[in-house]
Structure 1
Amino acid sequence: MTPRVDPGEAGFHAGRLARVDAFVESEVAAGRLPGAVLGVVRGGALVRLDAFGMRDPQAGAPMTTDTLFWLASMTKPVTAAGALLLVESGELVLEEAVGDYLPGFRDRRVADPESLRERPAARQPTVLDLMRHTAGIPEGLLGRTALHARYAEAVGDGMTGLDGPEFVARLAAFPLLADPGTLWHYGFGFDLLGQIVESLTSDTLGAFLARRLFAPLGMTDTRFVGGSGADPGRLAVPLTRDPLAGHPLTGESQQLPDLARARFDSGGAGLVGTAGDYLAFLRMLLAKGAGPTGDADRVLGRKTVELMLADALEPGTDTRLLERPGWNPGHGFGLGVAVRRAAGGGATTPGSAGEVTWPGSSGTFWWADPAEDLGVVFLTHTPSRLQLRYWQQMKSLVLQALK
C-alpha cells in the first residue's frame, strides 16, 4: 500500500472526515459494533487505513488494520475480475452458454415457480448471465416458492460441505426460475463462474487468482476459506447477540458460518481478506486496470474494466429484487457489481452516477466512485440487519467530508 497522504491533499476537509472516527467510536462504546477497519483511497493515494474497537470482544483482542474479515459476497467482484482475465486471453467468451463450459447445464428448462411445470427456455443462460445475476439460477433462501424451496434444500445458503463438482451437480438438477436475461435474481452464478475458471485453468480458483490477480496487486492476505484458510487468530469476531434495539432479531445470537466447512473455492462468497488488500483491488478498478506502478504492471485492460463497471442489464429486465429499499434504489448491475444510474433516482445516500458496490452479508462494505476517483472499504462483522444502517451512515459520513 502506498504511503498515506494528508486528507487535505486528497480533497477532504480533515475536520469533517474526523466525524467518521467519532461515529464509529460511539457505536463501539454503545456496544452496537464490535470493531471495524476503515480504508479510503483517492487519486490513487491512501487517505485512511484505521482500526477501531475490538477484533474479538470476548477475548479482549483489539482490532488491527491487518485483521482478516470474511468478505462474503465481496468475493463476487474479485471472481468477476479473474474471469475477465480469461476473456482477455481468449479462453472465455461471455456470450457463450454456461453448458458449453459445464456440460451439466446444457438444455436448461424453465419451471413455473409454484406448479413446477417445465417448458423449454427461450434461450440458454450465458457466462454473462452468471456475472450479472440473470441466469435464472436463484439462491433458494431468497424466495418462498416451491422452486426456491428445492434450491434451498439442495444447497442452502451455499456454505456447504459439498465439493465443487457436487455443488455444480446439485444446481444442475433443477430448472431455471425465469428465462435468462429477463429477471435479476441473486443466486449462485459466481460459484458456477469459479468452477468454469477452474475447468479452463486446471487449477483451483484460489491458486489462479493468487497468481494472476492477488500477487500483482500485493494482496498478500486474501485467500479462500476452508481448513486453516480463515486463520482464526486473525479473524474478526462478531458480537454474540444482535444489538439492534427494537428489531425483531434483538437478543438473538449472531455468528459467522463455519468457514472451515468449505471444500471448494466459492467464487460467490469464499474469500477472507483485509481492508488494505481490498483497497488495492479498488485502486486497480479506479485506475482502469493499471497495477500499483501503472501500466508497467497492468492487470486488466482499460476497456475490460469499463465493461465490468458498466450497467450490463438489458432494457426491460425485471430489477425489482435488485432495487430494493435501503441501499440500492436506482441501481443497475454490471459484472459482479451494482452500478448506480444517477445521483438521485430514489437513492437514499449521496453518490455519483457510475458508482459501483457490492457488500457482504457478514457486514463488510465498499464502494468505488470513478467520478470522484474514490474508493472506500468499511469492514466489520455485523451479520444482522444493523449493517444496512451502517452502509448508509458510512457513505454519508465519508462523502460529506469531500471539498
Structure 2
Amino acid sequence: MKTLWLAGGAAALAIVAVSGAFGQAVTAPPAQDLTVAADAVPALARAYVADRKTPGIVIAYAKGDRAPNFAAAGKIADDEDAAKADPDSLWRVYSMTKPITGIAAMMLVEDGKLKLDQPVSDFIPGFKSMKVLTDPANSLATRPAARPVTVRNLLTHTAGLGYTIVTKGPLLKEYERLGITPGAISASVEVEARKTRPGSLKEFADRVATLPLIADPGTTWSYSIGLDVLARVVEVAGGMPFERFLQTRMFGPLKMTSTYWSVPESEIGRFATNYLWAGENRIPFDPAKSSAYIAPPSFPYGGAGLVMSARDYDRFLHMLLNGGTVDGVRVMKPATVRLAMSNLLPQGVVFRGPSGDSPVPLGFGAGGSVSLADVPGGPGKGTYGWGGAAGTLAFVDPANKVRVTAMVNYFPSEKWPLRRDVVKAVYADLAR
C-alpha cells in the first residue's frame, strides 16, 4: 500500500491510499490464513464487522445469469442511528468508476464514432502537439512526443499522463497549480480543491492538454487521469454531456437507479460514511450528512466520481458477463464486450499490477485489468475489473461465469486484506 498526499494548490490537503492492485487482489492464489466454512461469504461479512474492521459491508456475487446473492453485515456508519448496510446502501466507488467510463467509450467504438487507435486530438484539439518531459525528476524541459495520444492510450493508462496521487517532481506542481484533481475526498478538502479545479470537463481536458507527458504515448503503463480525459472524449464523440450519455446509454436501460454523481438529500439516509484509519483508530473522514458528495461535483469525474449501491454495480457487471444484456435489454453487442474486456495494451507494454509485483500475468482492457492466466481454485483467465480507493472491489470472470462486487468505505484501502479474502470466500461458496 502506498500512502500519498493528494494536493490542491500549493498545500497538501489529505492523506489518501492509492487503490491496491485489482490484479494482485483477484489473481493472487487464494490465501491460506482465512478459514473457509460453509457460507463463507456471509461469514466473512459478519467477521469483518465483528472484528471492527469496518462498520458495515455488502458483498454481491453470482454465477451465470442468476440474480445476485447479497451478504451484508453491520451499519453504514458508527453512529447509533445509522441504517443497516444492505444491497441498496450507497458507497463511494472511486476508481471503480473507471471501467464504467471505459465501457461507455467502447459503446461509441461500437457506434463507429470512436476508433481505438484514433488520435485524441480529433476530439480535444489541444492534444495535437504534445510534449514529453526529458528530465521529469528535476525540470519541465520537454521534447516533441513521438506519436499522438490515442483513445487506446486513455483506456489503458498508456497515454503518458500523470495523476496527483502518483506523479512527483515539477510536473506534480503543475497539476496542482492548474487544479488537475478530478475527485472528491471530503467537504473540507473540496473547499481548497475548487479554488483551482476547472469547472467543466472541457476546461479540464483543455488544461491537461497544455501539460507535458511523462513518457511517449503507448510506451509504458502508468496510473493516470486518462479515464477522466476519456470522459471528455465520450462527451464530444457522443454529442451530449458525459453524465447524460451514461444515463441514456447505460444507467437508464440497465435500471441502475442508485447511481449518483451527487447524493440527493432524500437518499442521504442510505449513504455510508467514509472513514480514515489512523493506526488502530477509525475516524469519520467524510461523514454522509456533510459529505463532499452532497454537492454537485465541479464536473463528472470519469475516473473516480460515482456513488453506487452494490445492487447497481452488480447490474453493470451482469451486463458484461451476459455479453451486453440484462433482463432482455441489450446495451452492447457481445463482440464489443469481449473486446472491452480483452488485453488492449499497445504492443510491447507490460502491466504487472500497480505495485509491479503481480504473481499472475496481467493485461489491461477498457479501464480495468485483465488476467492473462487462470488461478487454480480462483478467477479464470480473462477476469476483468478494478478496485476503488476506499476499499471497494468489482470484477467479472467470464471463464467461470462469476461476478463479484464488494462495498466498504475506508482509507487506506489495504488496511485489511478484504479483496483477497472476498475472492477466496466467493470461489469457495460457488464451488459448493
2: CA distance, partners of 1:353 / 1:321: 15
Structure 1 residues 287 and 229: CA distance shift in structure 2, 3 A: farther
Task: Answer yes or no: is 1:107 the counterpart of 2:129.
Answer: yes
Equivalence map 1:383-398=2 (5 Å): 383-386=411-414, 389-398=417-426
TM (norm. structure 1) is: 0.86
Kept in 1: contact 2:161–2:224 (CA 8 A):
yes
Equivalence map 1:321-400=2 (5 Å): 322=354, 324-325=356-357, 330-343=361-374, 350-386=378-414, 389-400=417-428
Task: Answer yes or no: is 1:54 the counterpart of 2:55.
Answer: no
Kept in 2: contact 1:139–1:152 (CA 8 A):
no
- Secondary structure of 2:243's aligned partner: helix
Q: Which residue of 1 aligns with 2:250?
A: 213
Aligned equivalent of 1:86, options 90, 99, 108: 108
Q: Which moved more, 1:374-383 or 1:60-69?
A: 60-69
RMSD, matched Cα:
2.5
Kept in 2: contact 1:217–1:291 (CA 8 A):
yes
Q: Which moved more, 1:211-220 or 1:141-150?
A: 141-150
Unaligned stretches of 5+ in structure 1?
Answer: 1-14
Identity of aligned residues (%): 32
- Secondary structure of 2:253's aligned partner: helix
Unaligned stretches of 5+ in structure 2?
Answer: 1-35, 184-192
Structure 1 residues 392 and 201: CA distance shift in structure 2, 3 A: same
Task: Answer yes or no: is 1:76 the counterpart of 2:104.
Answer: no
Structure 1 residues 17 and 100: CA distance shift in structure 2, 3 A: farther
1:9-33 C-alpha deviation (Å, 9 max, x unpaired) = xxxxxx9451222222122122211
1:253-303 C-alpha deviation (Å, 9 max, x unpaired) = 64477233612111111111111111111111111112322xxx3211111
Aligned equivalent of 1:263, options 298, 305, 316: 298
1: CA distance, partners of 2:86 / 2:353: 36
Question: Could you say which structure has the higher strand fraction?
Answer: 2
Equivalence map 1:229-268=2 (5 Å): 231-239=267-275, 241-242=276-277, 245=280, 254-255=285-286, 258-259=292-293, 260=295, 262-268=297-303
- Secondary structure of 2:155's aligned partner: helix
2: CA distance, partners of 1:152 / 1:336: 24
Structure 1 residues 352 and 243: CA distance shift in structure 2, 3 A: farther
Structure 1 residues 133 and 36: CA distance shift in structure 2, 3 A: same
Q: Which moved more, 1:21-30 or 1:205-214?
A: 21-30
For residue 39 of structure 1, report the CA deviation from its aligned partner: 0.7
For residue 168 of structure 1, report the CA deviation from its aligned partner: 1.7
Number of positions where the alignment pairs a residue of Structure 1 with one of Structure 2: 376
Kept in 1: contact 2:160–2:216 (CA 8 A):
yes
TM (norm. structure 2) is: 0.80
Aligned equivalent of 1:142, options 166, 172, 184: 166
For residue 320 of structure 1, report the CA deviation from its aligned partner: 5.3
Aligned equivalent of 2:340, options 279, 304, 308: 308
Q: Which moved more, 1:388-397 or 1:120-129?
A: 388-397
Q: Which moved more, 1:105-114 or 1:124-133?
A: 105-114
Q: Which residue of 2 aligns with 1:277?
A: 312
Kept in 1: contact 2:175–2:181 (CA 8 A):
no
Aligned equivalent of 2:207, options 170, 189, 199: 170
Kept in 2: contact 1:362–1:380 (CA 8 A):
yes
Q: Which residue of 1 aligns with 2:224?
A: 187
Aligned equivalent of 1:130, options 147, 154, 157: 154
1:154-201 C-alpha deviation (Å, 9 max, x unpaired) = 335422533223322331221111011111111111111111222233
Bigger relative contact order (CA 8 A; separation at least 6):
2
Q: What residue identity is the alignment partner of 2:426?
A: V
Kept in 1: contact 2:42–2:72 (CA 8 A):
no
- Secondary structure of 2:326's aligned partner: coil
Kept in 1: contact 2:158–2:220 (CA 8 A):
yes
Q: What residue identity is the alignment partner of 1:172?
A: A
2: CA distance, partners of 1:252 / 1:229: 23
2: CA distance, partners of 1:17 / 1:331: 31
Task: Answer yes or no: is 1:64 the counterpart of 2:86.
Answer: yes
Kept in 2: contact 1:140–1:150 (CA 8 A):
no
Task: Answer yes or no: is 1:319 the counterpart of 2:351.
Answer: yes
Kept in 1: contact 2:90–2:308 (CA 8 A):
yes
Q: Which residue of 2 aligns with 1:19?
A: 40
1: CA distance, partners of 2:162 / 2:416: 22
